[in-house]
Amino acid sequence: MEAGGNGLQSLCGPVERLGRGRLARAGEARIETIYEQGLAYHLFGGNMGIEYIIVNHDKKEFLDFDRLGFGTKLGSITSEPISSFMSWLLVNPEGYGNDAPNMLGRWASERIEIIGDDGSGYETQERARKDFRDITVEVIKAFADENPFERITKLQPMGLIDKDGNVVTDSKVRDAVSQYWKQQAEQEDKELDGYIAEHGAAPNGGPATRLGNSGVAEGSPSVS
C-alpha cells in the first residue's frame, strides 16, 4: 500500500504542477486582458461605445458613415478611409483657382464638429439628420472620381466603388464587388506574366509595368 501510495503521489505531482501552470497562464491572460481594458479606458474614458457623425453647421451638411456599414467609433472615424474623405472636404483649395476638383475644400474654414451620440450629442445628431443634408455618398464619389490612384488601390479593393464608378452603399454587396476586383487583379497578373514569358520585356524595351485595374471592365457587380 505504501508503494502504491508513493506511485500515486509521484503521478499526482506532475499533474498538479501542470494544473498550476495552466492556472498561472490563465491568470496571466486574465491580467493582460484587464490591463488592455484599463489602458483603453485610460485612453478613451468610458466613451468606447459612442458613435459619431461629422457635421458642418455653416452649410447644414453632415457625413454619416454608419449607414454605409463603416465603424463610427472614435478610432474608426479618425482612420482610413474616412480621414481621406474628411481631408478632401477640409483642405484649402486656393491654389486651384476656378479649377478645383469636385468638392475639394467644400468645408474649408467652416464650423465643423464631430458629434457623438452621448448626452446632448444624441439630440444634436438627430437634429442634423432631420434638418441637414447628408453628403456622405456624394463626397466618396467625388474623391473616387478625382483620385484614380486611390480609387484603384484602396476603394475598389474594399468594394466601395463598382465598375460603373458608383458608390456601393450596401455593405453586403461590397463583399461581391471586392471579390470581383480581386479576380480582375489576378487576371491582369496572369496576362502580364504571359506577356513577359512570351516577349521577355515590355514594348520599346522598357520595364514591364502594371497599371492596375482601371475600373473599366465587363461583367462586374455594379450598383445603380
User: SS3 for 156?
Assistant: coil
How do residues 166-210 score in pLDDT, each as one tens digit? Answer: 999 999 999 999 999 999 989 988 988 888 888 876 555 555 555
β-strand pairing of 133-134 with 61-63: parallel
Distances in Å between the Cα of 135 and the Cα atoms of 61, 96, 129, 221 are 7, 22, 11, 24
172 and 123 in a single domain? The answer is no
pLDDT at 207: 57
Same domain, yes or no: 103 and 170: no
Same domain as 120, residue 62: yes
- Domain end marker among 85, 114, 146: 146
Query: Do 172 and 152 belong to one domain?
Result: yes
List the domain range (segments joined by +) for residue 212.
148-224
- Do both 56 and 24 map to the same domain? no
Regarding whether 57 and 28 lie in a shared domain, the answer is: no
Same domain, 137 and 58: yes
If asked whether residues 138 and 166 sit together in one domain, one would say no
111-124 per-position pLDDT tens digit: 999 999 999 999 99
| Residue 2 or residue 222, greater confidence | 222
Cell of 217: 471592365
Domain boundary residue among 112, 146, 180?
Answer: 146
Q: What is the pLDDT of residues 16-61, one digit of tens each?
A: 555 555 545 555 555 455 445 455 444 545 556 899 999 999 999 9
Q: Which of 99, 115, 146 is the last residue of a domain?
A: 146
Burial of residue 58, with CB atoms counted within 10 A of its CB: 0-12 exposed, 13-18 middle, 19 or more buried? exposed
Do 91 and 125 fall within a single domain?
yes
In a shared domain, residues 58 and 17: no
Each residue of 89-146: pLDDT tens digit?
A: 999 998 898 899 999 999 999 999 999 999 999 999 999 999 999 999 999 999 999 9
User: Is the same domain home to 157 and 105?
Assistant: no
99 plus 141 within the same structural domain: yes
| HEC profile of 159-183 | CCECCCCCECCCHHHHHHHHHHHHH
pLDDT attached to residue 28:
54
The predicted pLDDT at position 193 comes to: 87
Grid cell at residue 93: 483649395
Q: Please count the structural domains in the chain.
A: 3
Non-local (6+) Cβ contacts of 50 within 8 A are 73, 74, 116, 117, 118, 121
Is the overall model pTM greater than 0.85, yes or no?
A: no
